[in-house]
């Protein structure tokens, strides 16, 4: 296989994969310069962000919005155009500025409405490197990646749970029909990486407040809380493989180490996870999928790394739970594989762009 590339776009992360070779993830922040191409990400991720520029955020959720995003200099920018520019910058980053050596595929959130998909398609048509890239729902792309490794059942229904930064997307696919979705993707926002990070931060602050004086009323606390939240996110990721994580709390009135355990993380995740399981169970019932028809549950997204997600799904549905070594890259990997196979093999993408039902 040539160096096929997959790009995925999400509200909390963009990803690029040269399938089987390398990968990178960037925060969806785009910096515009007057004398050089835009850069994507934040300085801790992207060393090329070495001078001031015009910073734009929030564009992923504004793709398809006819009202532009107002920048600090008063200029207005369409969300779809910014998303396309960010994907182009991401492509240049993963290829180190060289032209792609193979086909490129792009994925978008399966719960997006058709207007957002068409807006992104139109914006990509203006980007020479991406104008011919197949555009695939991330649910279909993730299923393609899972078929390739570690493999999926060839009969029955596969329930895909994409636990991402801003919510969980649930998709039911018919394995015998090329993993075609049998219903629109449902979005459940109560279970998300961002909400888990915030709950961990609240838990840590509560413990510190009970132990002594912590002053969070002044403006000086804002930066400290931002850094502590980032440490909570890192601790969450560490607890996917370890039973204990340690972070440093540097807050007004307190400085010291805080110990977090996987048990504490499990308690924080348990309630929103139960809500997502209930939504998936209702989806199965609404679509007439009997327990005997459910062949497997597949998990992708960064939240798929959290052990309680796998154990809870396995215990509730009593079927195999399948994932990837790097579940947060599933959509990008599948996007690349879809591009490599060509449009004639892109079977699962056809039914996935219907308007999605959602839950708050």
CATH number for 303: 3.30.420.40
3-state helix, strand, coil in the chain (%, to 5): 40, 25, 35
Statement to judge: residues 47 and 174 lie in one domain:
no
Whether 64 maps to a domain, the answer reads yes
Statement to judge: residues 200 and 308 lie in one domain:
no
Statement to judge: residues 259 and 201 lie in one domain:
yes
Q: How far is it between the farthest Cα atoms of the chain?
A: 64
Q: What is the pLDDT of residues 284-321, one digit of tens each?
A: 999 999 999 999 999 999 999 999 999 999 999 999 99
pLDDT band for position 351 (cuts 50, 70, 90):
very low
**pLDDT computed for residue 219 by the predictor:** 62
Statement to judge: residues 203 and 306 lie in one domain:
no
Statement to judge: residues 166 and 176 lie in one domain:
yes
pLDDT band for position 250 (cuts 50, 70, 90):
confident
**pLDDT computed for residue 360 by the predictor:** 34
* d(C-alpha 52, C-alpha 33), whole Å: 8
**pLDDT computed for residue 208 by the predictor:** 80
Whether 261 maps to a domain, the answer reads yes
pLDDT at 345 over 50: no
Tally of domains within the chain:
3
What are the tokens at 85?
């520019």
pLDDT at 354 over 50: no
Whether 354 maps to a domain, the answer reads no
Q: What is the pTM of this model?
A: 0.92
Statement to judge: residues 28 and 118 lie in one domain:
yes
Q: Which residue range(s) make up the domain with 273?
A: 150-191+267-326
Using an 8 Å Cβ cutoff, are 309 and 191 in contact?
Answer: no
pLDDT at 343 over 70: no
For residues 80, 85, 89, 95, the Cα torsion angle rounded to the nearest 10 degrees is 80
* 101-105, 185-189, 331-335, 343-347, range with the lowest pLDDT: 343-347
Concatenate the DSSP letters of all residues of 36-84 into one string. Answer: S--EES-TTT-TT--S--EEEE--GGGTT-SSPEEPTTS-EE-HHHHHH
What percentage of the chain has pLDDT greater than the value 90? Answer: 83
């Amino acid at each position: 296989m040539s160096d096929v590339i997959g790009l995925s776009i999400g509200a909390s992360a963009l990803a690029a994969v040269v399938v089987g070779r390398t990968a990178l993830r960037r925060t969806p922040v785009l910096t515009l310069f007057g004398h050089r191409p835009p850069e994507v990400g934040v300085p801790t991720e992207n060393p090329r962000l070495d001078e001031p520029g015009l910073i734009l955020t929030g564009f992923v959720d504004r793709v398809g919005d006819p009202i532009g995003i107002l920048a600090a200099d008063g200029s207005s920018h369409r969300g779809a155009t910014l998303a396309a520019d960010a994907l182009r910058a991401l492509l240049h980053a993963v290829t180190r500025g060289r032209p792609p050596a193979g086909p490129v595929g792009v994925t978008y959130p399966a719960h997006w409405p058709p207007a957002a998909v068409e807006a992104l398609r139109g914006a990509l048509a203006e980007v020479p490197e991406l104008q011919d890239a197949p555009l695939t729902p991330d649910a279909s792309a993730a299923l393609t990646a899972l078929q390739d490794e570690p493999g999926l059942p060839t009969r029955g229904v596969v329930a895909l749970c994409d636990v991402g930064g801003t919510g969980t997307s649930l998709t039911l696919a018919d394995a015998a029909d090329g993993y075609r979705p049998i219903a629109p993707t449902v979005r459940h926002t109560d279970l998300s990486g961002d909400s888990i990070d915030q709950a961990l931060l609240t838990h840590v602050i509560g413990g510190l407040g009970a132990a002594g004086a912590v002053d969070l009323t002044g403006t000086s606390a804002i930066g400290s809380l931002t850094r502590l939240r980032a440490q909570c996110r890192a601790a969450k990721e560490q607890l996917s493989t370890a039973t204990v994580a340690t972070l440093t709390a540097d807050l007004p009135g307190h400085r010291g180490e805080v110990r977090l355990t996987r048990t504490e993380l499990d308690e924080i995740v348990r309630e929103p996870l139960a809500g997502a399981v209930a939504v998936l169970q209702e989806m199965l019932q609404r679509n007439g999928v009997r327990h005997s028809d459910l062949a497997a549950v597949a998990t992708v997204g960064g939240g798929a790394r959290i052990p309680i997600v796998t154990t809870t799904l396995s215990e509730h549905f009593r079927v195999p739970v399948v994932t990837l070594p790097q579940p947060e890259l599933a959509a990008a990997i599948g996007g690349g594989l879809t591009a490599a196979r060509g449009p004639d093999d892109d079977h699962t993408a056809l039914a996935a762009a219907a308007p999605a039902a959602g839950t708050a």
